[in-house]
Amino acid sequence: MESVKRVAVTGAAGNIGYAILPGIASGGIFGSDTPVRLQLLEIPPAMKALEGVCMEMDDCAFPLLTGLEATDDPRAAFEGADLVLLVGSRPRSKGMERNDLIRVNGPIFVEQGRAIQQAAASGVRAVVVGNPCNTNCLIAMRNAGDVPPDRWSAMTQLDHNRATAQLASKAGAAASDVRRPIIWGNHSNTQYPDWSFATVNGRAAPEAIGDRSWYENTFIGTVQERGKAIIEARGASSAMSAAAAAVQHSRYLFQGTPDGDWTSMAVLSDGSYDVPAGLVSSFPVTCPGDGSHVIVKDLGMDAFGKERLARSVQELAREREVVADLLG
Ligand code: NAD
Ligand code: LMR
């Protein structure tokens, strides 16, 4: 048995919280040999609901779950945490864009960035799910003092999986036959889901699918607007798929991306692909499995892709201006 990993989850009584806890407690992030201790954060009005979630977690009797704590104090929740999943925040409802939440949710990430610096393990990794997740990640990172920026990421794994599913369906293939799509930019409707480097059963996706018009007029918009379509259909934002993606994102960080493969994560730009350094943007990344990520460099983007990415980056820059007072 490996040593116990401490995982903090914020908003643990919410929809994603409810869906994510079993995946963490059954080894989905650190593997089946690593016990986990869960440290769950909620706001005071949701503590009663969180108590119920904890009762259910007890009743699952997960063999790997060695501890379970519920609190409304961020510092207690983040104490010694190896991984912090920042989920707790308001979801959008029908008719809203994700960045309409920026002034409501942004301040949460100021406080929680500070609390991570004060309390988490020295090697902590923080994954931001709460929307607008790229800019919330920037806010938390900028308020976390000496916690290095490469410890932070925001989740575009769900968009990556949506792109995978759409390509598989169009090609008449299984999701597991599709590799290397890319989500560039913001987790918003300006994101650029890119098939240029994707393969289906080893063939280049553009060639295997052979329908550029579908790519430009259907695929990109479907992936960009999938969150909205789910809200319209379900009356609530994605939770099961978001929880599965957050577990997968975290597993890649701690156990690595599959050999020769990449995934998509929003991370602090180093200037790659003309994304200005200092913005948190989605890129193709590989993970060696030690908690770090590496941006895949020097992919030759075509003019169409560059223009799409630039549009999303402009939106990220605008979001950063809107929260300038929260950036620490
Ligand atoms: P939810 O409303 O069901 O749950 C959110 C929970 O967070 C609530 O229980 C609430 O009490 C709690 N909370 C609010 N403020 C908090 C704070 N300061 N500290 C701790 N907890 C707090 O929402 P949900 O469906 O679980 O979604 C959570 C967030 O995740 C939303 O912002 C949503 O837009 C986002 N999301 C992101 C992605 C993505 O791909 N990045 C996907 C789905 C949802
Ligand atoms: C999603 O992509 O499903 C989430 O970001 C929720 C939303 O608001 O769309």
pLDDT tens profile 32-76: 999 999 999 999 999 999 999 999 999 999 999 999 999 999 999
Query: What is d(CA 264, CA 282) in angstroms, rounded to the nearest whole number?
Result: 6
Distance of CA 110 to the CA centre of its chain: 18
DSSP conformation letters of 122-142: TT-EEEE-SSSHHHHHHHHHH
For residue 11, count other CB atoms closer than 10 A to its CB.
Answer: 26
**Assessment of whether the complete model's pTM goes beyond 0.75:** yes
Q: Give the number of whichever ligand sits closest to the CA of residue 228.
A: 2
Token representation of residue 61: 């009797």
157-324: CATH topology is L-2-Hydroxyisocaproate Dehydrogenase; Chain A, domain 2 (3.90.110)
Nearest CA, atom 17, ligand 1: 88
Residue 287, helix vs strand vs coil = coil
Find the distance separating the first CA and the last CA of the chain, reported in whole Å: 40
Segment 295-316 shows an average pLDDT of: 98
Residue 1 has pLDDT above 80, yes or no: no
Ligand 1 atom at shortest distance from the alpha carbon of 18: 26
CA of 198 to the centre of ligand 2 (A): 23
CA of 92 to the centre of ligand 1 (A): 9
Contact 227 CB / ligand 2 (< 6 Å):
yes
Domain 5-154 in CATH 3.50.50.60: no
Q: Give the number of whichever ligand sits closest to the CA of residue 112.
A: 1
For residue 212, count other CB atoms closer than 10 A to its CB.
Answer: 12
Segment 252-256 shows an average pLDDT of: 98
Active-site annotation, residues:
187
At 328 the pLDDT is 84
pLDDT tens profile 283-299: 999 999 999 999 999 99
Domain ranges of the chain: 5-154, 157-324
pLDDT tens profile 92-110: 999 999 989 999 999 999 9
What is the rounded average pLDDT for all residues in the chain? Answer: 97
Share of the chain above pLDDT 90, in %: 98
Who lines ligand 1 at CB under 6 A? 10-11, 13-17, 41-43, 46, 87-92, 108, 129-131, 133, 155, 158, 187, 237-239, 242
pLDDT tens profile 137-182: 999 999 999 999 999 999 999 999 999 999 999 999 999 999 999 9
Nearest CA, atom 7, ligand 2: 227
Longest C-alpha distance within the chain, in Å? 54
What angle in degrees, to the nearest 10, is found between the helix axes of 47-60 and 15-25?
Answer: 30
CA of 229 to the centre of ligand 2 (A): 9
At 181 the pLDDT is 98
Categorize the per-residue pLDDT at 217 as very low, low, confident or very high, splitting at 50, 70 and 90: very high
Nearest CA, atom 3, ligand 2: 227
At 61 the pLDDT is 98
